[in-house]
């Protein structure tokens, strides 16, 4: 940034004062809140986040310094829950994105499905990517495609799952003409997001070292009421020995019936470098804060 475009020291000072004012207002609102999901607290929180982000930007532009704030974007946060206290119905909204990175593998898998299908109407559909996609998604459940996406020449992108509450179940066929309308965010009970951007932000924070580099911010992150240590005593009826996190159960299609070994190319089932999914969870009633 050129010197002419840099903010003045007075502008940075004014931004700092705005953060102090927003902090005072947020605390005062929390002290007199009417309940766990008080909309005034939600509004004060967003104002504090905006003031802190503005100060963070100006401080960096003027002095090349950063703050310790982790600031969730207001656009990423869920508003206070206003749905039924005891929902009689729910909707699960799922979006999964994929890139077609190996079209020939995709088509080859579809041709195998087509060859095993006695329906003559399906002939030659597997020769194109759209036709192959139609065959594969018609043959396999979405969850199976998600777990075996590399076998189908696909690469995972972002995904999200939202659970929304309803007063009553929808009538049969009621929403089929417009199934993907924007949901009422005030009725979202919880959401789970998966994206490589969360892993990138963690890498940036690890490399930043607090000076001279601007650490990335995790947006929309929320805390959970569950103990991250997952104490097995939480439910005495669960036999912990039944669950082995290191056990890998191969899919039936990947096992050779003659020798019982896994013939699938190891590269097709390679996990992420860290062996974990990078998942961001936004839970109702909790939200990331400043500090």
Mean pLDDT of the chain: 74
Domain boundaries defined on the chain: 9-69
- Which token pair is 91? 């909707």
pLDDT for 68 equals 85
pTM, rounded to two decimals? 0.50
Residue whose entry in the numeric block shows the structure tokens 């990078």: 278
Q: Rounded to an integer, what distance in angstroms lies between the CA atom of residue 79 and that of residue 259?
A: 55
**25-73 pLDDT per residue, tens:** 999 999 999 887 788 888 888 899 889 989 999 999 999 998 887 766 5
Does residue 190 contact residue 250 with C-beta atoms inside 8 Å? no
Does residue 57 contact residue 38 with C-beta atoms inside 8 Å? no
Say which residues have a Cβ less than 8 Å from residue 73's Cβ, sequence separation at least 6.
49, 219, 220
Q: Which position has the higher pLDDT, 111 or 280?
A: 111
pLDDT for 115 equals 86
pLDDT for 206 equals 54
Please state the rounded mean pLDDT for residues 153-172.
94
Q: Rounded to an integer, what distance in angstroms lies between the CA atom of residue 160 and that of residue 191?
A: 7
Please state the rounded mean pLDDT for residues 264-279.
47
């Amino acid at each position: 940034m050129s010197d002419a475009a840099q903010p003045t020291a007075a502008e940075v000072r004014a931004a700092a004062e705005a953060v102090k004012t927003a902090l005072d207002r947020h605390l005062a609102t929390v002290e007199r809140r009417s309940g766990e999901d008080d909309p005034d607290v939600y509004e004060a929180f967003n104002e504090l986040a905006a003031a802190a982000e503005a100060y963070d930007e100006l401080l960096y532009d003027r002095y090349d310094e950063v703050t310790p704030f982790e600031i969730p974007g207001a656009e990423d946060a869920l508003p206070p829950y206003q749905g039924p206290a005891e929902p009689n119905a729910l909707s699960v909204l799922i979006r999964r994105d994929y890139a077609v990175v190996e079209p020939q593998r995709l088509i080859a898998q579809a041709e195998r499905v087509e060859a095993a299908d006695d329906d003559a109407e399906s002939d030659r559909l597997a020769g194109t990517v759209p036709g192959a996609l139609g065959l594969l998604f018609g043959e396999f459940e979405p969850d199976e495609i998600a777990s075996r996406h590399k076998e189908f020449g696909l690469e995972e992108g972002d995904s999200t799952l939202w659970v929304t509450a309803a007063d009553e179940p929808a009538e049969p066929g009621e929403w089929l003409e417009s199934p993907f309308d924007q949901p009422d965010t005030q009725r979202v009970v919880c959401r789970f997001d998966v994206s490589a951007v969360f892993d990138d932000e963690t890498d940036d924070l690890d490399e930043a070292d607090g000076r001279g580099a601007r650490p990335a911010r995790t947006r929309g992150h929320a805390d959970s009421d569950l103990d991250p240590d997952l104490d097995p005593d939480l439910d005495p009826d669960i036999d912990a020995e039944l669950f082995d996190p290191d056990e890998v159960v191969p899919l039936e299609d990947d096992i050779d019936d003659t020798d019982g070994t896994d013939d699938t190319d190891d590269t097709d089932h390679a996990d992420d470098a860290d062996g974990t999914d990078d998942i961001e969870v936004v839970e109702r009633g909790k939200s990331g804060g400043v500090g």
